[in-house]
Structures are given as C-alpha cells and as structure tokens.
Amino acid sequence: MDIRDIHTPVLLERCLELLGPALERDDAVLVDATLGMGGHTEAFLDRFPRLHGIGLDRDTEALRIAEERLARFADRVTFVHTVYDGIADAVAASGGSVDAVLFDLGVSSLQLDEADRGFAYAQDAPLDMRMDQSAGITAADVLATYGEGDLRRIFERYGEEKLAGRYARAIIAARGRESIERSGQLVRILSDATPAAAQRAGHPAKRVFQALRIEVNAELVAVEHAIPAALRTLRVGGRIVVLSYQSLEDRIVKRALAAASTSTAPAGLPVELAEHAPRFRLLVKGAEQASDHERARNRRAAPVRLRAAERVRPDEAKDIV
C-alpha cells in the first residue's frame, strides 16, 4: 500500500499557511523536527521548489520510510537520526540558523500502527514503547524495576491518572507472580484493578500507557529543551509551528512561546528599552484545534493543539538575520 494512503499529515494546509511566508527566500531552510513518515516535509518541498529540508527523527524505521518517500527530493533534504532536542547540532551545517521549524509531537502513525512496538493498548504485543529501538529502556523494564512510589509518580504526572496508586500496587503484586512483558498482560492487570464505575469512564489502560511511553522516551524533558533550542535557531522573520496532542506537552509549548513573546522590561519603566522588547510574536490566539472536517477525515487530528510564533527581533547575544 502507498504510504500516502495510510498516513495523513495533521493540519497540513494550516502548517503550510503559517510557515509559508518564512520560506520564500531562495536559500530557505525548514526543519521538520519530528519527521515521521515525511508527509509534512513532502508537502513543503512540493510547494516551495527552492526549499531545503532537514528532517529529524529518533525512529530509524521512520527515517527509512521517509527517505524512500522523499527520494525525488534527494538533493534538497537532509536526514538526521536524533531526538528533537538535538536540533541545534542538527542544523549546524546550515550555519546554525533556519527559516522555519515544525514540531508534530507525540507518538507517530507508524508507531501506533505497528503492533509489535507495544504503543497501543488495544493490541497484544511486547511492551517496548521505545521510539528509538536502538537504545534505552523499554516499558517492560520500567514495570520490572521501578518501585511502587515511582510507578505511582509517573502515572500521576505523565498520565494524570486518578487511580495511579491503585494501579502501581496492582503491578507490584502481579510482577511478583510473573514478569509483565506484553501489553495484553498489563491491560488485564489494570482492568482487574479498576472499579466498575471507573471502567465506564473510558479504557483503564489509556492514561497508564501514555505515562509509560512518556517515561520510556523522556518526551517531556525533550520538549522542554527542544522548543527554546528551536527558537534560538530561527532567523528574524523565521517561524515555528508546534502541534501537541496532550495537555502536558501543550503546557510546555505555551509557556515557552509566551516567554519569548513577552517583554522582559521591569514593571514601572516609563519606556520599554529595545533590549527588553519581545523577540517573537504569536501568530495564533491561544491554541488552534482541528476543524470538524479535518477530524472527520483524519481521526488523529482530534486532540491536536496548534501554536505558532514568528521571530521579530534577534537575540542580543546572537544576531540572527
């Protein structure tokens, strides 16, 4: 099956609209910090024939698919195997400054659709959940080695799970009987530990699986470092768009963009000095959501939150022009 039939990029036209004004120059550079299967980057390379793309992804399988998909643009795209918080090193070859950055955060279509990756609670598979399968601990490792307090912490913090303590105790008890190595096992443990009333509120595994995925991939730490790093790479006139799919990610993005677009002048100054003026301006009010039409044609757009900003001033320590 053609990759285009199974992968529909989220909010594609809106991303093109928001980042387009920064990509008209002859030597424009776009960083797709979460390349995935290359759908967004393909559309940008099609739309802007003088554009060079830099695609980042920690998932080697995603990079392989994207390279195949984007083969016709081989002389205009660079692929980098890295987590998105390594963006500064990834763009160093272009002089360290770029015109646009796109983040499409969260788990990718490829990772969700491949059952043996262990991301989906609806499919029985080994509990891996690593976005980069060449490194790091797996979800099974977390379940086997973390204490009850640590399990409760990640379920509460990364899954916002009200039954975190109950689930942590159930996992500790279950692993004393047998190792927890498959998603089906974990789903049964969580279901058995969930009161009937709570089961009617949604699948009991949803938030725990999210929490494990975030812990295994250190996702929120990466986002906290990546957004400020990406902002520093943008030239004056450069733009950033970030697509988030859960509240914890979106909160980090919101804070980073708000800080960059707010004056640093001390309260009470009669005149704002140039060095205190905001370096960025927000391009959308709040967080935009997908339209009903987009949600209908692409179910993965349902939870998306889009934020965007444009650099209007250079950093004082680095004249980005």
One-character DSSP codes across 225-284:
HHHHHHHHHEEEEEEEEEEE-SHHHHHHHHHHHHHHTS--PPTT-SS--GGGS-SEEESS
Using DSSP's 3-state secondary structure scheme, residue 306 falls into strand
Q: How many CB atoms lie within 10 A of CB 228?
A: 13
Q: Please name the residue that has the structure tokens 């680095």.
A: 318
Residue with tokens 């002048």: 265
**Residue 11: Cβ within 10 Å count:** 22
State yes or no: 84 annotated in a binding site: yes
Per DSSP, the residues of 52-69 read EEEEEES-HHHHHHHHHH
Is 39 labelled as part of a ligand binding site?
yes
Tokens of 123: 């499919």
Q: What's the CA angle centered on 238, arms 285 and 131, to 5 degrees? A: 80
For residues 148 and 169, give the distance between their C-alpha atoms in angstroms, rounded to a whole number: 6
Count each helix (H run) and each strand (E run) in the chain, helices first: 15, 7
Question: H/E element holding 104?
Answer: strand 98-104
Residue 165 annotated in ligand binding:
no
- Choose among 48, 60, 58, 38: nearest CA to 222: 58
Query: Closest by alpha carbon to 134, among 201, 58, 241, 207?
Result: 58
CA distance 288 to 66: 27
- Known binder of ligand: residue 38? yes
Q: Is 40 annotated as a binding residue?
A: yes
Nearest CA-CA partner of 211 in 148, 144, 154: 154
Binding site residues, as ranges?
Answer: 38-40, 57, 84, 104, 111
Q: Which residues are annotated as a binding site for S-adenosyl-L-methionine?
A: 38-40, 57, 84, 104, 111
